[in-house]
Amino acid sequence: MRIKLQNLLIFCLLFGSGSLPAATLLAAESATFNKDIAPILFKNCASCHRPGEVGPFSLLKYEDAKKRAEFIREVTHDRRMPPWKADPDYGHFADVRRLSDDDLKTIDLWVKAGAPEGNPADLPAQPSFAEGWQLGEPDLILKMPEPFSIPAQSEDIYRCFVIPIGNETDRTVAAVEFRPGNRSVVHHAILYLDDSGVARRRDASDPGQGYRSFGGPGFVPTGGLGGWAPGSSADRLPDGVAKALRAKSDLVLQIHYHPNGKPETDQSQVGIYFTKKPVQHMVTGIALLNPRVDIPPGDRNWEITDGVTLPVDVLALGISPHMHLLGKDMQVTAELPDGSVVPMVRVRDWDFNWQGSYRYAEPVRLPKGTRIRLIAHYDNSADNPTNPHSPPQRVRWGEQTTDEMCLCTIQVYPERPENLRQLFKLPHGRLGAALAGGTLPESGWQTLLRRVRQHLSPESDDLD
């Protein structure tokens, strides 16, 4: 840097050019906030780091970024931010959040130069974000019945809210949008369906709105409508593909709240968009699940595996790995009958708070006979900062913070609609179907399938 400044000085002396702005020259050699850093932050960080959003501070203004310059460099270089846990070299996903190596170099240059502001004329316009429903007015809006209070200081809160839907018949769903009521505290949400009444009973037995939960909703769901995390876009299925909403279902909205230092309330909403075009395929799920989780205390790298062989040709739309606080890494691979290997997902540094659903950029075709394998590791040592036990204890399968899970749901549809039944018959096929938004064999599915085969006309699918 010193040499560069000297050069600049010599340059100015030689040419006597007081008119040449020094900032321009410096900008070419280092990086400034206005010219180089603001575009990176606006594009990759502002969705969460702006007033009212989940990020703990705004990164829209120079002063905000300057005082955290070193911190920004650190969290971007070790890839903690923007949060995106799936390995980008392992599977082709939609909406990947990741800085390029060039972005990282620019941040580095900027920090080394002392985080200069630069020329005000270089500053791009502040980013704008669409308000309201991103997919347009939903056919059905489901809202938490009353605001839920989140105290200023507390542990993170995991709670399920039961919202009756009241649909008299089975419906097919094309898209779902979750709209957090208070973005500064809603960390993520998972949308389950229940038509068994169990969730209502749980709600009734727990004081206050909703009931406590952690890793799962506390019952075996009979359907699902996806999930939401900050920065994720609304879940729209490809044309002709639908999720099932069985008659008389309750929506069970599981929300993870992260208190932000001020007392807050939240009243989140879910928008449902029914299919308007003929349905050709019903979504279902393949659950890779090994309940034989039994992790000895102190073990730093406890391994568990699972596998399933596909009975029919499927197209995979997305994948959702799930572990709790001891989870370390998870990898899912598909070995095709021709011997080729398709990477499905790899998370190397699992973080319960950033568990996500990853949507493939294009549906991944997996032919009959494909072997899908899962391998996961857990750290039950005292060195794991998220270990819920001190000192470490034996940990087994369960839904509580202190339990563990080994589960990965792959959202798929069979290439031939009538093959749905074979997928239900896989181990944990029913749970997989429910978690992925499918329907279950004993109720509704024949009707839905018949409607799929008849290429249901849009008019007959009006709201009941």
Q: Which is nearer to ligand HEC, 45 or 279 (CB)?
A: 45
Which distant-in-sequence residues (6+ apart) come within 8 Å of 74 by Cβ? none
CA distance 120 to 66: 15
Closest contact distance (angstroms) between CB of 139 and ligand HEC is: 28
CA torsion sign, 34 to 36 to 39 to 40? negative
- DSSP SS3 for 318: strand
Structure tokens at 79: 């890839």
Min CB(83)–ligand HEC separation in Å? 5
Interacting residues with ligand HEC between 58 and 97 (CB under 6 A): 68, 71-72, 75-76, 81-83, 97
* Contact indicator for 302, 338 with CB cutoff of 8 Å: no
From the list 48-56, 119-127, 338-346, 414-422, the region that binds ligand HEC by CB under 6 A is: 48-56
Tell me the window of 51-59, 315-323, 365-373, 417-425 that interacts with ligand HEC (CB under 6 A).
51-59
| Residue 53 or 170 with smaller CB distance to ligand HEC | 53
**49 contributes a contact to ligand HEC by CB under 6 A:** yes
Least distance to ligand HEC, CB of residue 395, Å: 23
Q: How far apart are CA 297 and CA 287, in angstroms?
A: 27
CB of 349 to ligand HEC, least distance (A): 12
Q: If DSSP codes are grouped into helix, strand and coil, which group holds residue 233?
A: coil
Nearer to ligand HEC, 82 or 221 (CB): 82
CB 450 → ligand HEC: shortest distance, Å? 41
Distance CA 176, CA 102 (A): 35
- At closest approach, how far in Å is the CB of 340 from ligand HEC? 34
CB of 19 to ligand HEC, least distance (A): 36
Nearer to ligand HEC, 127 or 388 (CB): 127
Q: Which is nearer to ligand HEC, 354 or 424 (CB)?
A: 354
Q: One symbol per residue from 157 to 186: x for binding ligand HEC (CB under 6 A), - otherwise; what is it?
A: ------------------------------
Among 31, 38, 45, 431, binds ligand HEC (CB under 6 A): 45
Residue 384 burial (10 A CB sphere; 0-12, 13-18, 19+): middle
How many Cβ atoms from other residues are within 10 Å of residue 114's Cβ?
10
Least distance from C-beta 97 to ligand HEC, angstroms?
A: 6
Distance of CA 197 to the CA centre of its chain: 28
Q: What angle do CA 246, 251, 257 make, to 5 degrees?
A: 155
Size of the site for ligand HEC (CB under 6 A): 21
Pick 262 or 416: Cβ nearer ligand HEC: 262
Q: How far is the CB of 72 from ligand HEC (least distance, A)?
A: 4
- For ligand HEC, which residue of 21, 51, 56, 136 counts as binding (CB under 6 A)? 56
Which residue in the block uniquely carries the two structure tokens 């749901």? 409
Q: Rank residues 385 and 391 by Cβ distance to ligand HEC and give the closer one.
A: 385
Binding residue for ligand HEC (CB under 6 A) from 231, 271, 285, 392?
Answer: 231
- Give which of 169, 226, 139 is closest to 451, Cα–Cα: 169
Cβ–Cβ < 8 Å for 329, 349: yes
Rounded to a whole number of angstroms, the minimum distance from the CB of residue 206 to ligand HEC is 26
Of 47-55, 303-311, 374-382, 425-433: span binding ligand HEC (CB under 6 A): 47-55
For strand 148-150 and strand 223-228, is the pairing parallel, antiparallel, or unpaired? unpaired
Query: Do residues 77 and 110 make contact, with C-beta atoms less than 8 angstroms apart?
Result: no
Burial of 74 (0-12, 13-18, 19+ CB in 10 A): middle
β-sheet bridge partners, residue 162: 252
Helix (H, G, I), strand (E, B) or coil at 418: helix
Binding site for ligand HEC (CB under 6 A): 44-45, 47-49, 54-56, 68, 71-72, 75-76, 81-83, 97, 99, 230-231, 353
